[in-house]
Structure 1
Amino acid sequence: MTTRAPRIWTDHAPLPEDARGGTVALGNFDGVHLGHRAVLGAAHAARPDLPLAALTFEPHPREHFRPQDPPFRLTLLPAKAAALGEAGCAHVHALPFDADLAAMEADAFCEAVLHRHLGARHLACGADFAFGHRRGGDIGFLSRWAESRGIGLSVVPPVTDAAGPVSSTRVRRALQDGYPERAAALLGRPWEVWGEVFHGDRLGRELGWPTANIWMGRHLEPARGVYAVTVALPDGSEAKGVSNVGRRPTLGGDPETRLETHLFDWSGDLYGQGIGVRLVRFLRPDATFDGLEALKAAIAGDAEAARAALLEA
């Protein structure tokens, strides 16, 4: 099974032959959690002689049908593809989810996408997978269609723990409740927010605590407050630090939620570069302070608490 970076396909253009004819795992794969990895593992185990591919959708169907919803994504496409690659995928087919695809009946989807476009030779999905217009295609339908085409199908039961089936919903709830370690247990790795570092107002530098700032954007907003974190840097190294998720109420408030991170024992220029901030431990809720000196003292205390938490993790 490959662990190299997968090739990402994002349109309906005809695929080269080496990107067709594989075993295809089906799903949204938001987060690429342990349940998703079980589907990928089953796809590979059924046909280890074939390249492993994942078929997913961009944007997430929920973003298409309910664009007014608050951001909820655990992984945007680059991070999702990277996680799928780590799980063995050679190809990630991020099918554009638009009005035409939403209106496609299940049988048309199977013929046009799975058969003609992907040339799938084996399929794998979770037991609750549904697809097609108004989710008209279920496991029974997919099984009958695959059999008629001589295509194998692996239906994978949920991965469960003491609290029930592992799901993206449970990961989101753990993060929103301030338990990144619970989310990490469900994901099999710490939850990470990727973003490009932007120029802020340099207040952190003036206070003696320079920060790398990224917008949360389309990512799920976890519990606002302070976290102990590790940071994936552009050169492939990792740093430790302390982050704040919020809208800076002490400084008048931001229109969007930002993730501000102070890196311990590190110096350099990250502006315009992408970093990945991995939440390890929630330390305290967001708060408003009476002036900059009080804020500075709070940051010092947060940094000390983050260092201690990272030693325990």
Structure 2
Amino acid sequence: MEREFGVKISYSKAHRGKLHALNMLHGTPRDSFQKLSSYCHVVGESNPRTVTHIEVDSYNRFRYFFVAFGASIRGYMQYLRPVICVDGSHLKGPYKGTLLVATTQDGNKQIYPLTWEIVDAETNKSWKWFLSNLKDLIGDSEELVFVSDRKKSIQKAISQLFPSSRHGCCIWVEDFERLMGQICRVSERAHGYLERAGYSFWSRALFIGHRYNIMTNNNAESLNSMLREARGKTLYELCSRYYSSDYWKGAYNETIYPVPREVDWVVPSLITCTPIFLPLVRRPLGRPPTRRKRSRCEYAWSTRKYTRCGRVGHNRTTCLNPRVSHTP
């Protein structure tokens, strides 16, 4: 501010000014929660058979929000493979929360969102509420397959609500028995761990049901990335109707329409007068993290600069560049 506009202010005043500007632009969090019922009403009018649910506590404080667009559900039921990836990701707003998503994949390996939900955290209760709403829309069958990470809350909810479906978490391993034998020879402890986890849960080779080429839940973790190619397809998969152009076009046959401007909303007073208050949030100590936590085995690329030559990607031992002089 001082360099560009010649105004000298403190950090706290700049932060308060930024929050005030954001509230003027997007509205306050309190207003957004209060408008949620009206938004659901308008979305339902613009997109027929869209399903929305809002759950509050005994004090009308927000707890859960669920939305499933009718066009997405109908496209999935008629044209897409019965393999659903579920996952959760943390929200970064002032009231935190977690976004739960259920996605699938079309015949062209493109991500196809099904349902969305905002909850307080990934708990047994929140996952059960989310998947129970999903079950009301798609039902349960022996052909249905869920792919997720190894959270116990997801596994518990699926086993209770979808007893006929299959649930897996990992990818297919080629020459399964041979590789498991090698693991056993190297480490009996690791072999025992994999055996106790259940081969049918984490191995595509022994999975009961059809997972097609959907091997991980990456498309639920990131709607902006594609799942990796399968290592090999069977003749059945190549000839399946799910890979035909008719089914691919049919999945996108319907349109999800945007809601009109807020000034054009026509919402019954019974809906607008229903209070939805801010949720209770306990903020953790310290500054919130801005980067994703890497897994234990994930390699972190380093961009540190070696000061003697001024270049990145190496250190003093491997540096072959001439030393840069800093004298004027």
Length-normalised TM-score, structure 1: 0.29
Higher relative contact order (CA 8 A, sep 6+): 2
* Pair member with larger Rg: 2
Higher percent of residues as strand: 1
Length-normalised TM-score, structure 2: 0.28
